[in-house]
Amino acid sequence: MIKQLKTEFLARFGGREEDIRVFFAPGRVNLIGEHTDYNGGHVLPCALHIGTYAFARKTDHPFIRFYSKNFPEKGVITVSLDELSYDAAHSWANYPKGMVAAFAELCSIDSGFDVFYYGNIPNGAGLSSSASIELATAVMVNALYSAGIEMLELVKISQKVENKYIGVNCGIMDQFAVGMGKWDHAILLNCQTLTYRYLPLVLNDCSIVIANTNKQRGLADSAYNERRATCEAALAKLRQVLKIQSLGDLTSAQLEQCQHLLSPIEQKRVRHAVTENERTMEAAEALERGDLARFGELMKQSHLSLCNDYEVTGAELDALVEAAWKHEGTIGARMTGAGFGGCTVNIVKDEHIPSFIEQVGREYKQKIGYEASFYVAKIGGGAREIKEEKEMVL
C-alpha cells in the first residue's frame, strides 16, 4: 500500500520515489470526559490506529501543492507561500494551509513542498479527522523544515489553528490525544494544567467498539459554541463568590451551595461539567484497578448527563447507546466527541461482538431508518514520521 500511494504521489507531482517522506497522525476516541476540556476539567481519550497519512517532499518552488486521495474531485490545490490566509475555495486544504501559516510565524518556510494525503478515519464522525490532518501536517512541516518544535507545542499550535484559522472554538482534547497518543494506553489529561498520565488500557477479554450513527455532525455550526458560552457565563457568576479558575475546580458540593446564582439552563450545563469531571477521575481510578464494571457504569452515567443536562445527544446517539445497554455483551456505552451525531464508544466482551453488531445495528435501523457502522478499535500511537512499511496500518 505504501508503494502504491507513493506511485500515486509521483503520478501527481513527478520526481523521485526516494525523496518522499511519510508522516502519520491518528484519529482519537474519547472514553469519558466529554465537554470538560474547555471547562478546565479532565478527559480520558486514546489515539486510534487509523488516521491520516501525509506523503511529502520539499521542493524549490515558491508554492505548496496539496492533494487528498479522499477528495479527488478537488484536484491539486496550489497555494503560494506569500498568500496563506484562509480561502473558502481551498476547502479541506485550509487545515494544512492554516498549519503552514502558523509555522511561517515560527520558522523560515523558505521554499514549498508537495503533499499527498490519505486518511482512513470516517469524516465528520467525531473521531477527530480534522485534528488528525492538523497534526500530520505539523509533524511533516516540523521535519521538512527542521523546525525542532516539541510535540506539546505542535498540539497547542494545532488547536490555535482550529480556533483562529478554521473558526471552530474547540478545546485541547482532540489535538492532545492525536499528538500524544500511546499504543494500548488511554491518556488522563487535566485540561487546565495540561498535566497528564498514560493509563494502560487493559480490557482483558473485551474490546472497544465504535459505532457510527452515520448522521453527519457539523461542529462549527452546531450548538457547540453556545454550550461553551453558557458555561463561561456561569463561571463568571460563580467566580464572584468562589475562588475558582474554571469549572474544573468546582465540586458538586460547592455547586449545590451556589446553584441559586445561576439560571436554570446554566445550572444544568454546569452540573454536567462538574459531575462529568468527577466521573472521569473516578473512571481513571476504576481502570487502574481493573474494575471495568464500574468504568462501564460511569460511561452510562456520562451519556445520561450529556443527554439530560448538556443536551448534546439526539435521537440517533440515544438509539445506539440504548440498544447497546440492552445487549448482554456490553460493559459500557456512551456517545463520544462533541455529540449531535457522530459516534458512540462501547466496551464489549469479545465473544459477543458479532451479536452486538448484529442486534444493535438492527435495532438502530428499525428506529432511525438507516444503518449504523461498526469498527473494532485498536489503540495506536501519536503523530509521527513513518519510516517502515510495517508501521502503516491501512
CA angle 140, 142, 147 (to 5 degrees): 160
Please, which residues bridge with residue 58 across strands? 113
Name the residue nearer to ligand GLA (CB basis): 206 or 338. 338
Please say whether the beta carbons of 119 and 127 come within 8 A.
no
- Asked if 171 is part of the footprint of ligand GLA (rule: CB under 6 A), the reply reads yes
C-beta of 123 vs 257, nearer to ligand GLA: 123
Which range, of 73-81, 89-97, 137-145, 168-176, touches ligand GLA by CB under 6 A? 168-176
Rule CB under 6 A: choose which of 13, 31, 37, 56 binds ligand GLA. Answer: 37
Q: Which of 37, 114, 174, 318 is catalytic?
A: 174
For residues 332 and 31, is the Cβ–Cβ distance under 8 A? no
Q: Is residue 48 a contact residue for ligand GLA (CB under 6 A)?
A: no
Identity of the residue, 74 or 228, whose beta carbon is nearer to ligand GLA in the bound complex: 228
Q: Going residue by residue from 174 to 213, which x/- string records binding to ligand GLA, judged by CB under 6 A?
A: x---------------------------------------
Closest CA to 319 of 275, 363, 357: 363
- When asked if residue 173 is in the footprint of ligand GLA (CB under 6 A), the reply is yes
In which element (H, E) is residue 67 found? strand 63-68
Tell the burial category of 40 from Cβ atoms under 10 Å away from its Cβ (0-12, 13-18, 19+).
buried
The grid coordinates of residue 240 equal 464572584
Is the distance from CB of 214 to CB of 230 less than 8 angstroms? no
Is 170 one of the binding residues for ligand GLA (CB under 6 A)? yes
Q: Which of 223, 139, 122, 124 shows the shortest CA–CA distance to 175?
A: 139
Binding to ligand GLA by residue 34, rule CB under 6 A? yes
**Cα(314)–Cα(179) distance, integer angstroms:** 30
Of residues 56 and 219, the one with the C-beta less far from ligand GLA:
219
User: To the nearest whole angstrom, how small is the minimum distance from the Cβ of residue 25 to ligand GLA?
Assistant: 15
Helix locations, the chain, DSSP H: 2-13, 94-104, 129-144, 151-160, 173-180, 224-238, 252-258, 264-288, 292-308, 315-326, 353-368
List 100, 109, 338, 379, residue binding ligand GLA (CB under 6 A):
338
Active site residue 110: no
Residues 41, 181, 337, 381: which binds ligand GLA (CB under 6 A)?
Answer: 337
Nearer to ligand GLA, 38 or 165 (CB): 38
How many residues belong to the site for ligand GLA (CB under 6 A)? 10
Active-site residue set? 174
Binding footprint of ligand GLA on the chain (CB under 6 A): 34-35, 37-38, 170-171, 173-174, 337-338
